[in-house]
Structure 1
Amino acid sequence: MRKRRFGGRGLSLRSVVPNAITAAAMCSGLTGIRFAIVGNWEMCLFAIILAGVLDGIDGRIARLLKAQSRFGAELDSLADSLSFGMAPALIIYLWSLQDWPRFGWFACLAFALAATLRLARFNAQIDEDEQPHKSAGFLTGVPAPVGAGLAFLPFYLWIATDIEQFRDPILNAAWIAFMAFLMISNIATLSWSAIKPQRSIRLEMIFGIGILFAALLSEPWWTLVAICVGYLSLMPLGIIKYSRVKRQLEAEDILPPVAPLDVKQLPK
């Protein structure tokens, strides 16, 4: 008679930890909406920033523990869609755009939809070999967490200065629509893996990171403004660097040259 086995193979803790961090990031982003509903603006921004920090470490912890999985990748994209697409759109609507409800709501929808489409594009390309930007060490468009952080730039300025003009709904609608465009665009942007400082400036890098952390503690809003401005100013550099790398790869026949666009072939 065959013996019946009770119990089973236990679930490894290392496979749970990264997904638990991802779930915590999603809960943090959605909690930011709750703070926005009651008008606690600083806490709702803190919740979104915390979600960004957790999102930045869950993948690294998964690789460190060798616990990568397709389930984790799908959960991460779903959490990013909620925390960096829907949550920022609703927060900015409650903060500013509800004073211009018709067009302000469309701007929020555009931002949330752009974040979702970007993440869907990322998932669809996970198993593809032909990814010119990734193979060259770049990203395609602005990542969703970065796009959410940039979308709050007028928010940071409003808290830091108390100038009501930064709360203008027309300004904020145009700004988040521009962020939506950057997220779904094909613009080459710099990735963390592409930033490789020389060993000779290692101490200077450590010093700069320490000063940045101290600035976030003492003057968080102005520091976030400086980070956003710094990232935006580096975007043209990323485009220029990728164009150089692309020309070099095409010269080496690694990337096929892009055929010129024939306007007559476009659908009418």
Structure 2
Amino acid sequence: MTVQQQRGLKRRGIYLLPNLLTTAGLFSGFYAIVASMNSDFHQAAVAIFVAMVFDGLDGRVARLTNTQSEFGAEYDSMADIVSFGVAPALVAYNWALYDLGKLGWLAAFIFVAGGALRLARFNAALGSADSNFFQGLAIPSAAAIVAGMVWVGARYEINPDNISWLVALVTIASGLLMVSNFKYHSFKDVDWRGKVNFVVILLIVLAFVVVATEPALVLFILFVAYAVSGPVFTIKNAGKLKLEDVIGDSKDDDADFKPEDKKE
């Protein structure tokens, strides 16, 4: 085998560590589906949040180790639609939407379709969009809302029959927010390597303590607040709200979006 052939084989290989983390996230999403089929909704909801941790790690590890690849990006998107699209929808359906009949599975499908469209739009705009803002609610955040709702219900033993309509409404709203044009802060402009005041570290420790006391309720509230922040931020900075600020093809490219430009 020649040197050129050996180099070609290396180029055709895939990086182990980031794709291993992606696989772990995919497994967590699949486990959530299986757990919900066995009526273990507490474990199902937790598994989706575990998938979020792996999803946050794989990209960062790839950048830190300089192991980014087109394969990894495509694999990550396919894993995301399972872990954060199909899994939360089926968990919610098995928990509370089943008794609603056709409306129940339609609500679940709207969430899955919204997640798929959100990922497709994100991948299509990759490289041209403003990295400081997301266009529409990110699919992991939408999954956290649905999974957090189920987690709270399972944690506090809420009868899903009493809130099935509310679950359907939240599931549909989360799916629609993903395909909206509302602007969400991505927090990618935060300098994680910079120095901070000691008080900031103390506040972070206190935040972990608060989350640890009631993780289901606190995480659910945090992600709901984040979902609400998109419409509030967009309406506040749009001045005169237009249809393209909410849904459809926006006249303003994401790369050129600035809150002050929308003020009149």
- Name the structure 1 match of 2:167: 172
Please tell me whether residue 224 in structure 1 is matched to residue 219 in structure 2.
Answer: yes
Alpha-carbon deviation of 1:250?
7.8
- Name the structure 2 match of 1:154: 149
Q: Deviations over 1:159-207 (max 9, x none)?
A: 343332685222111111000010011111111124569x896333322
Pairwise CA RMSD: 3.0
Identical aligned residues as a percent: 32
Alpha-carbon deviation of 1:11?
5.2
Quick one: distance in 2 between partners of 1:96 and 1:233? 23
- Name the structure 1 match of 2:122: 122
Which stretch of the first structure deviates more once superposed, 233-242 or 174-183?
Answer: 233-242
Quick one: distance in 2 between partners of 1:208 and 1:25? 29
Quick one: distance in 1 between partners of 2:39 and 2:259? 51
Which among 203, 206, 209 is matched to residue 198 of structure 2?
203
Alpha-carbon deviation of 1:37?
1.1
Alpha-carbon deviation of 1:91?
0.8
- Structural mapping, 1:43-62, within 5 Å: 43-62=43-62
Q: 1:5 to 1:194 in 2, by over 3 A?
A: closer
- Name the structure 2 match of 1:246: 258
Kindly indicate whether the alpha-carbon contact (under 8 Å) linking 1:25 and 1:51 is maintained by their aligned counterparts in 2: yes
Q: 1:194 to 1:167 in 2, by over 3 A?
A: farther
- Name the structure 1 match of 2:243: none
Q: Which of the two has higher C-alpha Rg?
A: 1
SS in 2 for 1:152: helix
- Structural mapping, 1:1-268, within 5 Å: 4=1, 8=6, 15-127=15-127, 129=128, 131=129, 134=130, 137-164=132-159, 168-195=163-190, 202-236=197-231, 238-239=233-234, 243=238, 246=258, 248-249=260-261
Q: 1:235 to 1:126 in 2, by over 3 A?
A: closer
Q: How many residues align?
A: 243
Quick one: distance in 2 between partners of 1:114 and 1:19? 25
Which stretch of the first structure deviates more once superposed, 79-88 or 37-46?
Answer: 37-46
Quick one: distance in 1 between partners of 2:16 and 2:169? 41
Quick one: distance in 2 between partners of 1:34 and 1:250? 46
Alpha-carbon deviation of 1:229?
3.8
Kindly indicate whether the alpha-carbon contact (under 8 Å) linking 2:46 and 2:151 is maintained by their aligned counterparts in 1: no
TM-score w.r.t. the length of structure 1 is: 0.79
Kindly indicate whether the alpha-carbon contact (under 8 Å) linking 1:147 and 1:183 is maintained by their aligned counterparts in 2: yes
User: What letter is aligned with 2:214?
Assistant: E
- Name the structure 2 match of 1:266: none
Q: 1:60 to 1:238 in 2, by over 3 A?
A: farther
Q: Deviations over 1:203-243 (max 9, x none)?
A: 33322322232333332212223322432453345325764
SS in 2 for 1:96: helix
Alpha-carbon deviation of 1:154?
3.0
Kindly indicate whether the alpha-carbon contact (under 8 Å) linking 1:157 and 1:166 is maintained by their aligned counterparts in 2: no
Gaps of 5+ in 1: 252-268
Alpha-carbon deviation of 1:119?
0.5
Larger RCO (CA within 8 A; separation ≥ 6): 2
TM-score w.r.t. the length of structure 2 is: 0.80
Q: Deviations over 1:96-125 (max 9, x none)?
A: 111112110011111011101111111122
Quick one: distance in 2 between partners of 1:138 and 1:28? 27
Quick one: distance in 1 between partners of 2:118 and 2:227? 19
Quick one: distance in 1 between partners of 2:85 and 2:165? 20
